[in-house]
Chain A
Amino acid sequence: MSNLIKREIESPNERQNRHKAMEAIKVLNDLREGFKVPPQSMEYFYNLFEEVYCHQKALHKGKVKVGTMCIQIPSEIIYALDGVPIRLCNGFYTDDEIGSDFLPQKACPLVKASVGHLASQNITDKPDMIYSPTTCDQKTKAGSTIEGFGYDVVDVNFPRTKESEISREFFRRSIREFSADLSSKMGKKLSKKNLKAAISKIGYAQSLYHRLSEFRKSSAVPILGNDMFLVTNAFFFDKIDNWIGACEKLVSELEQRVKDEVHVAGKVSPRIVYTGSPPIFPNYKIPLIIEESDAIIVADETCSSNRMFNDRVAVDEWFVNDMVDSLADKYLKACTCPVFTKNDDRIRRIIELVRSYSADGVIYQAFAGCTVYELEQRSVLEAMEKAGISILYIESDYSPSQHGQLSTRVEAFVESLKIKNRKRS
Chain B
Amino acid sequence: MNYFVGIDIGSTAIKITVIDENRTLMGQRISGSGSMFYKYAHQTLNDLLNDLNITKDEIVYTVATGYGRKLFKEADESISEITANAIGAVAAAKEYGEIKTIINIGGQDSKAISLDDQGNVVNFAMNDRCAAGTGKFLDACAMNLEIGVEELGERHFKATGTPLSINSTCAVFAESEIIGLLGNSHSVEDIVSGVHYSIAKRVIKLVKRVGVKEGIYFDGGPALNMGLVNAIENELGKKIFIPEHPQVTTSYGAAILGAESYAYQQQMKT
Q: List the interface of chain A (C-beta within 8 A of B).
A: 1-3, 5, 7, 9-12, 14-15, 18, 21-26, 29, 33, 54, 400-401, 403-404
Stretch at the interface among B57-65, B70-78, B237-245: B237-245
Q: Mask for B182-222, Cβ within 8 A of A = 1, else 0?
A: 00101000000010010000000000000000000000000
With beta carbons under 8 angstroms apart, the residue of A1, A15, A24, A33 that contacts B237 is A15
Can you list 28 pairs linking A and B with CB atoms under 8 Å apart?
A1-B244, A2-B223, A2-B226, A2-B244, A2-B246, A5-B226, A7-B229, A7-B230, A7-B233, A9-B237, A9-B239, A12-B237, A15-B234, A15-B235, A15-B237, A22-B162, A22-B163, A25-B161, A25-B164, A26-B164, A29-B184, A29-B186, A33-B184, A54-B162, A400-B165, A401-B169, A403-B168, A404-B173
Binding site secondary structure of chain A: helix
The smallest C-beta distance from A24 to any residue of chain B, in angstroms, reads 8
The smallest C-beta distance from A258 to any residue of chain B, in angstroms, reads 28
Cα–Cα, bound, A12→B238 (Å): 10
User: Is the pair B167, A403 in contact by a Cβ cutoff of 8 Å?
Assistant: yes
Residues of A within 8 A of B168 (CB): 403
Residues of A within 8 A of B181 (CB): 29
Residues of A within 8 A of B239 (CB): 7, 9
Cα–Cα, bound, A33→B177 (Å): 13
Residues of B within 8 A of A3 (CB): 241-242, 244
Cα–Cα, bound, A10→B167 (Å): 22
11 more contacts with CB within 8 A, not counting A11-B237, A15-B235, A25-B164, are A2-B224, A7-B226, A7-B239, A9-B234, A9-B239, A15-B237, A18-B162, A22-B194, A23-B165, A25-B161, A54-B162
Q: In the complex, which residue of chain A has the Cβ closest to the Cβ of B197?
A: A22
User: Is the pair B237, A22 in contact by a Cβ cutoff of 8 Å?
Assistant: no
Cα–Cα, bound, A9→B229 (Å): 10
Cα–Cα, bound, A162→B169 (Å): 45
Residues of B within 8 A of A404 (CB): 173
Q: In the complex, which residue of chain A has the Cβ closest to the Cβ of B201?
A: A19
Residues of A within 8 A of B164 (CB): 22, 25-26, 29
Cα–Cα, bound, A363→B167 (Å): 24
Cα–Cα, bound, A404→B172 (Å): 13
The smallest C-beta distance from B135 to any residue of chain A, in angstroms, reads 16
Q: In the complex, which residue of chain A has the Cβ closest to the Cβ of B246?
A: A2
Cα–Cα, bound, A274→B229 (Å): 43
Residues of B within 8 A of A54 (CB): 162
Cα–Cα, bound, A24→B165 (Å): 10
Cα–Cα, bound, A21→B167 (Å): 14
Residues of A within 8 A of B226 (CB): 2, 5, 7
Cα–Cα, bound, A401→B202 (Å): 12
B15-73 residues at the A interface, CB under 8 angstroms: none
The smallest C-beta distance from A281 to any residue of chain B, in angstroms, reads 15
With beta carbons under 8 angstroms apart, the residue of A25, A33, A401 that contacts B162 is A25
Cα–Cα, bound, A15→B246 (Å): 26
Residues of B within 8 A of A1 (CB): 244
Q: In the complex, which residue of chain A has the Cβ closest to the Cβ of B241?
A: A3
B127-171 residues at the A interface, CB under 8 angstroms: 161-165, 167-169
Residues of A within 8 A of B234 (CB): 9-10, 14-15, 18
